[in-house]
Structure 1
Amino acid sequence: MSTALSTALRADGRPLLVPYVTGGITADWTGFLRAYQEAGADAIEVGLPFSDPMLDGPTIQEASDRALARGATVESILADIAATPLRVPVIVMTYANIVLRIGVPALAAAGVRGLIVPDLPLEESAGLEAAAAAAGVDLVLLAAPSTPDDRLREIGARSRGFVYAISVMGTTGERAALAGSAAVLAARVKRATDLPVLIGFGVSTPAQAAEAGRAGDGVVIASALMRRVLDGATAGALGADVAALRTALDLGVSPGTPHAEVSGHRG
């Protein structure tokens, strides 16, 4: 089923790039949204910080802790998103109890176009699917290497916007190489749906992004970018990182091409 989000993501016909930022991680965190957009992001994933993020690895947990320590709240983050006009869609990633507390209409009112809820079992998602559809927000479902084919078909049929293919079993985090399971999973998901298939969890460098872009329809990049922010990188520096990822995706850099970290330069 085509939705506003999937239509927007398919508009340019290129490998999709969805960089992530933890909402409220810095006082001027919306500068990252603008920098990502100008660097060529097709959509932006915003994480709502949570005190017990079960699927997030150390980097995203640290980013959430920093945002919460600054006093960031769901309400303040949504207000910031609403006050930041963007050309590209914003997709919120959060956990089920936060969504149940604030309600999907609050996300829609802030201009959010997509929603990812990684701890929501497929068997329990029908109510949220209906609420999201009513609010005009696409509920993006996740697929893992362990997901059987019949369940992949159900995920492909029920997901909206795209399907998020988790490259490895485990939590988010930077990795030295793209897991071999990523390409296998992407191929399986693509056989089960016409939606774009985006690979995430562990995509850390431009060359890995290009590899994932060849296997699927694009990438979600989170921990590698948030590590840079935690280390003090500015919005301008993160924009350069995203631009390097954009270039690698568009050129389809071959495996083995020399590369370093997200920024694409050695340091």
Structure 2
Amino acid sequence: MPDFFASRRPGRPGLAVFLNAGDPPLAALPDLVAMLDENDVDCLELAVPFPGSATDGPVIRASADRALADGVTLRAVLDAVAAVRPGLRNLRIALLADWSCTVRTLAPDDFAAAVRDAGCDGLLLHGVPPRLRLPHYEAAHRAGLPLVTTCYAVSGPDAMAEAARHASAYLYLVAHYGRSGTTAALDRERLAEAISTLRSATPVPVAVGFGVTTGADITLLEELGADAAVVGSAGVAHLAHARAAGHDPVEEFRSFLRELRAPGTAPTILQKKGIHP
């Protein structure tokens, strides 16, 4: 299995960033992923856009809507990944797909094979009904496609155990309930306990997301025991700003990453530009 967070070391936890495929347009994906690769981002969580997510805040919802308005489809996303994947040195790509909008009508084995054949390094399935999870997990296993599973810091023992049992790429621990882009304060004690519980149950890295916007947040997560951080809305907000201002989205995101990788930093770029994830 690929090491999704190969760059992590003491004082520098792994980093995953979330983007909706097609926002910025898919034509920009080669330059964007090359920049992420050059800047030691470990993983790109690349979502096949879908509308009306109950777990996403306005920034990511608006991003998905822009991509959908441009006609982005699963096939287009997989073709784009297939084109860029051979040139990457370290960056891994985990495809995020919504069951209801993207996966529901596809045979699990056919879908898993298509994701694998495109060159995706892993798969995160969103919104799969509990009774249908196992067929998709088994199909991914047959395809040799590593899985990203999810649970919450406040999930019960059974949900945590299921996520730990099936994770083979990494386990995405959602820091708190609510929609992405929220700024709820982390419950440090609960989060540290959840990370410890999961680490004892699975050998794969534990990555924490929701509300991660600064280098200081990433430093805190490492102190609590996380292997990696997942940054979503803050980065997507920068891309939206670049689009609205007519700026180069790759350079805008490069600037964001530079500050994000500086330990203990405050959200100065967000504040200066008036960007609100």
Task: Report the AA paired with residue 161 of structure 2.
Answer: R
Deviations, residues 126-165 of structure 1 (Å, cap 9, x unaligned): 1101111122211211111231224322321221111100
Moved more, 78-87 or 169-178: 169-178
Following the alignment from structure 2 to structure 1, what is the Cα–Cα distance between the partners of residues 151 and 4?
22
Q: For residues 183 and 265 of structure 1, what CA distance do their matches in structure 2 show?
A: 29
Name 1:25's counterpart in structure 2. 23
CA distance in 2, matches of 1:26, 1:198: 25
SS at match of 2:203: coil
Aligned to 1:218, which of 219, 228, 246? 228
Matches of 2:206 and 2:258, distance apart in 1: 21
Structure 1 position 94 matched with structure 2 position 92: no
Q: How far did 1:173 drift?
A: 1.1
What do residues 147-202 of structure 1 show as CA deviations (whole Å, max 9, x unaligned)?
A: 12243223212211111000011221142754545434323322332221000111
Does 2:252 correspond to 1:237?
yes
Aligned partner of residue 242 in structure 1, secondary structure? helix
Show the counterpart of 1:207.
216
TM (normalized to structure 1)?
0.86
Which residue is 1:144 aligned to? 152
Matches within 5 A, 1:65-84: 65-84=65-84
Q: SS of 2:80's equivalent?
A: helix
Q: Which residue number in structure 1 is paired with residue 204 of structure 2? A: 195
Aligned residue for 1:117, secondary structure, equals: strand
Superposed CA RMSD? 2.3
Whether contact under 8 Å (1:17, 1:43) holds in the other structure is yes
Q: Which residue of 2 aligns with 1:44?
A: 44
Instruction: Verify the 8 A CA contact 2:208 2:221 in the aligned structure 1.
Output: yes
Deviations 1:5-49 (CA, angstroms, capped at 9, x unpaired): 3x3434754511001111011233303222211111111110110
* 8 Å CA contact retained: 1:23, 1:49: yes
Worse-superposed segment, 150-159 or 109-118: 150-159
C-alpha change, 1:23 and 1:244, in structure 2 (3 Å) is same
Further displaced range: 217-226 or 49-58:
49-58
Q: Determine the C-alpha separation between the residues in 1 that align with 2:105 and 2:145.
A: 16
SS in 1 for 2:45: strand
Q: Secondary structure at the match of 1:147?
A: coil
User: How much has 1:266 moved relative to structure 2?
Assistant: 4.6
Unpaired runs of 5+ residues, structure 1, are none
**Structure 2: which 5+ runs fail to align?**
none
- AA aligned opposite 1:91: A
1:243 deviates by 3.1
